[in-house]
Amino acid sequence: MTIAVSPDAHPALVLNADYRPLSYFPLSLWSWQDALKAVFLDRVNIVSEYDVLVHSPSFEFHLPSVVSLKTFVRPSRQPAFTRFNVFLRDRFECQYCGSRDELTFDHLLPRSKGGQTTWENVVAACSACNLRKADKTPAEVGMQLNGRAFAPTVHDLHRNGRLFPPNHLHESWLDFLYWDVELDP
């Protein structure tokens, strides 16, 4: 195949068989190579295409912009514990002062005192608050948490995700992203 397309460009949004994104956080995206492979292996349907052609001697193909799995995959109910998802749970705000500048991660019980890197022990904190708290617990330095450190549900992250949509959304994806729809029962 002679293809002049950057590997990072033109990712495909991957939908489950029910036409909802396979995952939101992170948004399920495949490289165009993986998307084409899945098309050839007959694992996905093409829902929408980019206006970009790839050629080989025997065929011509539009790169898929949205694909849907042919077989439904049960979505995981527990969001992955990732840095992004911790920030999303905490709405990209320092959990002590509300600042959005220079966000870092703070261990409530410091690691030096056996604190673990878990949903319940990690919060977003601006670097000033993190410095001030240093190697202490919030109580020891008289700092108050705005919220509480908890393991969020997918619904919790959806709710906050609508406030912070990703930067780059292809127009063909928008029909399948429910940022504006109330998903909570």
Residues that bind Zn ion (CB under 5 A): 94, 96-97, 99, 126, 129
Compute the least distance from the CB of residue 97 to Zn ion, in Å: 3
Compute the least distance from the CB of residue 127 to Zn ion, in Å: 8
Which strand (E) or helix (H) includes residue 127?
helix 127-133
Q: 112-146 burial, b for 16+ CB within 10 Å, e for fewer?
A: eeebeeebebbbbbbeebbeebeeeebeeeebeee
Instruction: State which residue, 86 or 126, has the beta carbon closest to Zn ion.
Output: 126
Compute the least distance from the CB of residue 128 to Zn ion, in Å: 6
Instruction: State which residue, 16 or 137, has the beta carbon closest to Zn ion.
Output: 137
- Report how far residue 80's alpha carbon sits from residue 119's, in angstroms, rounded to the nearest whole number: 10
Compute the least distance from the CB of residue 91 to Zn ion, in Å: 13
Q: Rounded to whole angstroms, what are the CA distances from 45 to 6, 66, 124?
A: 23, 9, 40
Question: In terms of DSSP H, where are the helices of 7-79?
Answer: 32-40
Instruction: State which residue, 28 or 95, has the beta carbon closest to Zn ion.
Output: 95
Instruction: State which residue, 36 or 90, has the beta carbon closest to Zn ion.
Output: 90
